[in-house]
Amino acid sequence: MELTKSRKTWLKETAKALRGSERRVFMARTVRELGNGGQRTAERELGWNRGTIRKGEQELESGIAYEDNFSARGRKSSEVHLPHLLKDIGDIVDGQSQTDPQFRSKRLYCRLSAGEVRRQLIAQKGYSDDDLPTAQTINSKMNKLGYYAKKVAKTQPQKNS
C-alpha cells in the first residue's frame, strides 16, 4: 500500500472521526495493510502513536475491546482527600453567618473570609497547613455550601423626602 497525499489525508480524517476502540482497530488494520515497518511509517507519515496502534492490534487479535476509563483521569477534588472538610467548614461558618438583612434573598452571608476560615480550620480542627487547599478553594467550597463571604451591611433607615 502506497501512501499518497490524498490517501494520507483520508486516513487522518477517518481516524479523527472515529473514537475509542473503533479508532484503534482502524489504525491497526491500516498498519497491517502497510506491511513491514507499518507502525513506524504510520507514526512518521500520519502522526499516529505507536502505543495506540499496538493496543489496537491487541484488540483486533483478541476481539475484545478495551474499556476507556476517562472518569479516572484528572485531579481528585479536595473532598476525596479530606472527607470531613465540608462538614468542618460548615461548623466554623455556621455560627458566623446571617441572612440578608433586607430579606431580599435566601443567601447566607458570612462575616469570615476564606483565609480566616482556613486559619480556623488549622487552629480548631487540627488540619495541617500542607493538607488544606488554598483559600480560593475554600471560598468555592463555602459557596457550594451556600455561604457567601461578604461583609453584611446593616439596613439603612429610609430618609424622609
pLDDT tens for the chain, residues 1 to 161? 778 899 999 999 999 999 999 999 999 999 999 989 999 999 999 999 999 999 999 999 999 988 888 778 888 888 888 999 999 999 998 888 877 777 777 778 888 889 999 999 999 999 999 999 999 999 999 989 888 877 655 667 777 76
State how far the Cα of 57 lies from the Cα of 153, in Å rounded to an integer. 67
Please spell the DSSP secondary structure of 114-144, one letter per residue: HHHHHHHHHHHH---TTTS--HHHHHHHHHH
pTM comes to: 0.53
In the chain, which ranges are E strands?
97-99, 108-110, 147-149
Q: Does residue 15 contact residue 48 with C-beta atoms inside 8 Å? A: yes
Q: Does residue 53 contact residue 42 with C-beta atoms inside 8 Å? A: yes
Please enumerate in sequence order all residues whose Cβ is within 8 A of that of 134, keeping only pairs 6 or more positions apart, or say none. Answer: 118
